[in-house]
Amino acid sequence: MTRPLVIGNWKMNLDYVEAIHLTQQLGVILKNKPLEHVELVVVPPFVDLRSVTSVVESDRVDLEVGAQHASQHDTGAHTGEVSVPMLQRLNVHWVLVGHSERRAMYAMNDEVVAQTLRTVLRHGLQAVLCVGEELAVRESGEQVDFVTAQLHAALAGVEEKSRPLVTIAYEPVWAIGSGLTASTEQVRDMTEHIRTVAASLSLDTVRVLYGGSVNPENAASLMIEGGVDGFLVGGASLKAESFLTIGQVANDCYDVKR
Ligand code: PGA
């Protein structure tokens, strides 16, 4: 089993004061109870990044920091956007690419997702490609074709040296923030399929995460029966205890499976 990865996507929650507070809390708990096997990443809003990376560095918190989005362009007239080089200067090492909320609400189509992924990889940051079907697609039984198309559009032709920087997060849109988690069978089927498609694109060792109403109660079965390498956590990442309990579950599952 590969080392589990647990990512907390704070979305548009927590201002910079609240973000500092949560990062400090995470630091205190992690000092007392380190998660030796798990890679933990927090993904705050842009305006919190500098504060969060400062706390992580000064308190030596065992966390990495990511951004929720980045522009596909490196510089220029793109009002409201943030570039990958700007993130890199802040010691941000991860970027979510193509989260379903960006795709649905901010017109991020497959082409822009692919361009953004290339930009993130070109600068040597870790890219978390988010894929997943809407409810209507699942109800019509077309989820496999849908996710396959998203994967091909984003990942075809990724350079060999950049492949280790790619993580895939399967997030069925109907499970995000809804309290409706996908069943472990649904997660297992899709995860296996994603690994097959990724392997056909020469991404043999890619980590596959699940996201969508993950919480401390469902994390163990999703990991063991669902066969994922970790989680992309939204709501449950906003409290230190629930986020780190999910991290602990991933840590314990790794110990059991190893
Ligand atoms: P959720 O969000 O855990 O609140 O469902 C997951 C996500 O959108 O990444």
pTM (whole model) above 0.85: yes
Q: What is the DSSP letter of 256?
A: H
* Per-residue pLDDT tens digits for 180-237: 889 999 999 999 999 999 999 999 999 999 999 999 999 999 999 999 999 999 999 9
Nearest CA to ligand 1 atom 3: 234
Domain 5-257 homologous superfamily, CATH: Aldolase class I (3.20.20.70)
Ligand 1 close to Cβ of residue 131 (< 6 A): no
Beta strands in 68-223, from DSSP E residues, in sequence order: 94-97, 126-131, 166-170, 207-211
Interatomic CA distance for residues 197 and 2, integer angstroms: 18
Residues sharing a CB contact under 8 Å with residue 69, sequence separation 6 or more, in sequence order: 82, 95, 96, 97, 99, 102, 116
- pLDDT confidence tier of residue 158, bands split at 50, 70 and 90: very high
| Catalytic site positions | 99, 171
Rounded CA-CA distance 85/97 in Å is 15
Report the pLDDT value the prediction gives residue 256, as an integer from 0 to 100.
Answer: 80
Query: Does the beta carbon of 247 sit less than 6 angstroms from any atom of ligand 1?
Result: no
Pairwise CA distance, residues 2 & 81, whole Å: 34
**Ligand 1 close to Cβ of residue 218 (< 6 A):** no
CA of 18 to the centre of ligand 1 (A): 19
How far, in whole angstroms, is CA 137 from its chain's centroid? 22
Which run of H or of E encompasses 250? helix 240-257
What's the mean pLDDT in 105-122?
A: 97
In this prediction, residue 66 carries a pLDDT of: 98
Residue carrying structure tokens 């991860």: 94
pLDDT mean over 88-113: 97
**Residue holding tokens 């909320």?**
101
Sequence ranges of the domains in the chain? 5-257
Distance 101 CA to ligand 1 centre (A): 10
Task: Please tell me the distance between residue 237's alpha carbon and the centre of ligand 1 in angstroms.
Answer: 9
**Does ligand 1 lie within 6 Å of residue 9's CB atom?**
yes
Predicted pLDDT at 255: 81
- Would you tell me the crossing angle of helices 49-58 and 16-32 to the nearest 10 degrees? 30
Strand 230-233, strand 207-211: pairing = parallel
